Structure 1
Amino acid sequence: MLAFSLVPLLPGERFSFVEKPAPLAATFVLLITVSTLWTLGLVVLVNQKLADALKTSKLFLESTLDGLSANIALVEESGGILLVNKAWRDFARANGIDPVRVSEGVNYLRVCGTETEYCAGDAFVFSEGVKSVLNGSKELFVMEYPCHSPSRQRWFMGRVTPFPGDGPKRVVVAHEEITERKLMEIALEKTNKKLEAITNEDGLTKIANRRHFDAVLENECARHARSGAVLSVLLLDIDYFKNFNDTYGHVQGDDCLRSVAQAMARCLKRPTDLAARYGGEEFACLLPETNLLGAVGVAENIRGTIQKLAIEHNKSQVAPVVTVSIGVVSLRCESQTKPDDILRQADALLYQAKEEGRNRVSFRGVPEDAYLGPGDSPVGAVKILWNNASSSGNARLDRQHGQLVDLANALLAGILSGDASFDLRESVVRLLRHVQTHFEDEEHIMREMGYPQAEEHAAEHGRLLQEGWALVRDDDVAGISAVGVLQHIVHGLVMQHMFSEDVKYYSWSRVVT
């Protein structure tokens, strides 16, 4: 072995035991070529396997989706539909739509945007929800909506969720019919409303019961404390009702209670007003955002309407028919005002009406109502009281103010009397014409005196007159509102403006002169 190893070192002829190797470069090229071919073959093999796996996965996904009852579509970022399931196509076909129009290759957002039927609004909202999930502003969008067919009512729940993965943004849109649940909800809601009505309704008279009245009063008290508006409450009692029951029996007594309750309820014109049976023969009314004059007007209407029912009551010491006594309180609620305090005030006024002879209205209002007092008629009327402290010192203006008070009191007496022959429109027009002349004279005097707020005061005059004439113009379409006249003309224009705003420049004139 050692000798074989030394042979190449001896001089002379060379010996060759093996072939001469190929050059190194050729060998390298050969290796690279073989490696590349092997790699390409491996890639082709892997890609084939991946394609087969992807095809298998897609088939599995499609078969899974086709097994679901929900209508499902895969939507790409641009809105194009990439994939829909069998339920999606079947739903389109069942509704007379070619499935091709709402399947792969169609822009789902564009389809929603071109919806022209009655559900176009819902389609727009849902398309915006899809966009919000696509752009990442929402992680989930859920919406319930009606989609009724000509033959039956249907409701659906649409749900949009992101499609998982690191590729392009896509979302899964699913629509599932929830008609059965929705119909159950509607039926349950109707049942609950019926139960609530039964719970809140007095069984005998079919108006609200005390429980409901107390709950609404508490809410209105809190709301009026926030708004600063005037809240009015009426408590009324049937005069000598025990004598009625003893004379005519409880069956007729119940009939009387029903008649009184329904007559009272008919006198309340606004949906926010509430009539309730408060207990026994006692009833209550809640009048939100109603000042004292408006409340007294309603109370007088109730009192007169019940008397006109002419329910015989031979044992009454007031009249031969059934009558009621009413206590009215109007106030501005504060954060510490309690409903019980309001009811105590109304109850005290009801007691006062009974003490003063029954079949009348007794009332108390907020500070700006201090110029109101009992009327001259024997039953519950009200009138504006003139106070010399309100004099301006100008003989002409004071005379006009006195005439204005007389006209307002005539208007009040006519409204509260319930006299069918009283011409309300004519009386309002007569008062407004007097007011217009008075305002013109007053503005002239204020400007001559150099009153700094003369123009603001004149602008207020214009607003008050505009509101007043608007009530008369409304009479061309419907009967003029007596309560509107009481609140906007008698209370707002006469009492508040004359007794609150005018005195401001009276005080200023006394200082400068």
Structure 2
Amino acid sequence: MNLDLDKDKKGNILLVDDIPENLQLLSDLLIKLGYNVRSVTSGRMALKTVKVKPPEVILLDIKMPEMDGYQVCQALKADADLCKIPVIFISALDDVFDKVKAFNSGGVDYITKPFQIEEVVARLDNQLTIQRQQQLLQKEINHRRDTEEALYQSRALLSSVLNSSLDGIAALQAVRNPESGNIEDFRCLVVNPVIAKIFQRSREDMIGKLVLKKFLTNLQPKLFDDFIEIVETGNTLEQDFYYPSGDSYWYHFVAVKLGDGFAITTRDITARKQIELALQDANQKLEQLVNIDGLTQVANRRCFDTRLEVEWQRLAREQQPLSLILFDVDNFKPYNDFYGHLAGDDCLIRIAQAVQEVVRHPIDLLARYGGEEFTVLLPNTDIEGVINIAETIQKVIRDQAIAHAKSNITDIVTVSLGIASLIPKLEVPPDMLIAYADKALYDAKQQGRDRYAYNC
């Protein structure tokens, strides 16, 4: 990864850790990469420092004396002036409970120690990008609101507003059929330079002329009827529309009734649309970080818990079965001890990839439950269906033929599987399904491992 980042991507970072050596290490790395870094060694010092000079992002340790990281984060989120500062927890605690607690206390991300500086930088830059894009978007929204409010200013200020506004402003009068009284077109009464540029005509060529109907015929014919409705009903019309013109593609307009016609203000929102798309992409990446297991790249425990709750509620209403497979690697500790942790990680990755090929139905979910333990959630699947899937999982893992010299079962990696299947009830907690599968997994192990047992 190239860490030679552009200058405009750097930010002001506050590091909070009660171990000076940790602070010094991370501070030196970030300063070397161009970030402005401040460091404190306690939660109370952090709260005082933030109030004096708020940082853009806080990297916060959890285990600290007097006031731990969770309490610090909760205090920040309770302060209206500080609650929008993103907090990234960085801790040696790797338990799912600790991570969930971190997110519940208001954290936006979680980095496990020992960290990789590339990961820290990627997550920092992600939060800095989101924060700055939100600021730009809010600035754009505020500016548009101010411009729209200018429409209601007195006629004495209208001329200066029209000539100085960055938005397009025009006033149009209805031209009616003498016999039927129906609106046939609109005559331009007032047009500012921005509107004239959009129409690709001079102001002189537009004022007093009937140009709107012809213009909309090539752009969006329905808009002409919408403008008629503004005049006839008094309703306001506000929307975005696509119209390539030079370097601009998107515009936003607000049209309001004005006498027997309407006034319209138009803004080029191409930059805002680009920011919205970038923010959407950043949020999607953040969502993936929250729900995907970093090692195996399948769903994590947090994602599994959420899906289990959703499917339990849905299938309880529909009275359809919900099945669960809970499986783990047989004799995994001896495997790790003999082959090493890197080989152990590779083993888990290969198992996850193999099982993912089996669990291909869109509503099914494979998740890493913790350590060498995985779950497969199977909505709308009965006991016969889940047993078939369990047998297939057992086969594809054996087909991997991952050598296991320290197994007391066979010379390759195998798994034990616990199966549970039931029809959910709203008055029963979804944890019951996990308990049934866990009991079945225990039975499979007691029976000699490398097999499945079921409980339903």
TM normalised by structure 2 equals 0.57
Map Cα deviations across residues 409-444 of structure 1 (whole Å, 9 max, x no partner).
xxxxxxxxxxxxxxxxxxxxxxxxxxxxxxxxxxxx
For residue 158 of structure 1, the aligned residue among 229, 253, 259 is 253
How far apart, CA to CA, are the structure 2 residues paired with 1:102 and 1:296? 75
Partner residue in 2 for 1:72: 169
Q: Aligned pair in 2 of structure 1 residues 321, 62: CA closer, same or farther (>3 Å)? A: same
Output aligned runs, 1:46-445, within 5 Å. Answer: 61=158, 64-77=161-174, 78=183, 79-83=185-189, 84-93=191-200, 104-106=208-210, 108=212, 111-115=215-219, 124=222, 126-127=223-224, 129-136=226-233, 139-148=235-244, 152=247, 154-163=249-258, 167-168=259-260, 170-365=261-456
Partner residue in 1 for 2:92: none
How far apart, CA to CA, are the structure 2 residues paired with 1:99 and 1:229? 67
How far apart, CA to CA, are the structure 2 residues paired with 1:278 and 1:210? 5
1:80 alignment partner AA: F
How far apart, CA to CA, are the structure 2 residues paired with 1:128 and 1:292? 59
How far apart, CA to CA, are the structure 1 residues paired with 2:214 and 2:418? 65
Tell me how far 1:102 sits from its aligned partner.
7.6
How far apart, CA to CA, are the structure 2 residues paired with 1:333 and 1:181? 46
Map Cα deviations across residues 460-493 of structure 1 (whole Å, 9 max, x no partner).
xxxxxxxxxxxxxxxxxxxxxxxxxxxxxxxxxx
How far apart, CA to CA, are the structure 1 residues paired with 2:160 and 2:365? 61
1:295 alignment partner AA: V
Tell me how far 1:107 sits from its aligned partner.
6.1
Structure with the bigger percentage of helix:
1
How far apart, CA to CA, are the structure 1 residues paired with 2:203 and 2:443? 79
How far apart, CA to CA, are the structure 2 residues paired with 1:265 and 1:284? 11
**Aligned Cα root-mean-square deviation (Å):** 3.0
Tell me how far 1:200 sits from its aligned partner.
1.5
Q: Aligned pair in 2 of structure 1 residues 130, 360: CA closer, same or farther (>3 Å)? A: farther
Tell me how far 1:64 sits from its aligned partner.
3.5
CA contact (8 A) 1:277 1:284 kept: yes
How far apart, CA to CA, are the structure 1 residues paired with 2:391 and 2:225? 56
Tell me how far 1:238 sits from its aligned partner.
0.9
Map Cα deviations across residues 390-417 of structure 1 (whole Å, 9 max, x no partner).
xxxxxxxxxxxxxxxxxxxxxxxxxxxx
How far apart, CA to CA, are the structure 2 residues paired with 1:301 and 1:206? 21
CA contact (8 A) 1:205 1:258 kept: yes
Q: Aligned pair in 2 of structure 1 residues 107, 147: CA closer, same or farther (>3 Å)? A: closer
Query: Percent identity among equivalent residues?
Result: 35
Tell me how far 1:364 sits from its aligned partner.
4.3
CA contact (8 A) 1:73 1:81 kept: no
Tell me how far 1:233 sits from its aligned partner.
2.1
Tell me how far 1:239 sits from its aligned partner.
1.2
Q: Aligned pair in 2 of structure 1 residues 338, 127: CA closer, same or farther (>3 Å)? A: farther
Q: Aligned pair in 2 of structure 1 residues 213, 152: CA closer, same or farther (>3 Å)? A: farther
How far apart, CA to CA, are the structure 2 residues paired with 1:326 and 1:100? 80
How far apart, CA to CA, are the structure 1 residues paired with 2:424 and 2:372? 28
How far apart, CA to CA, are the structure 1 residues paired with 2:355 and 2:207? 63
1:154 alignment partner AA: Y
How far apart, CA to CA, are the structure 2 residues paired with 1:102 and 1:328? 75
- Give the gaps of 5 or more residues in structure 2: 1-153, 175-182
Partner residue in 2 for 1:428: none
Tell me how far 1:203 sits from its aligned partner.
1.5
TM normalised by structure 1 equals 0.51
CA contact (8 A) 1:80 1:104 kept: no
CA contact (8 A) 1:200 1:208 kept: yes
Tell me how far 1:315 sits from its aligned partner.
2.0
Tell me how far 1:279 sits from its aligned partner.
0.3
State the secondary structure of the residue aligned to 1:80.
strand
Tell me how far 1:272 sits from its aligned partner.
2.6
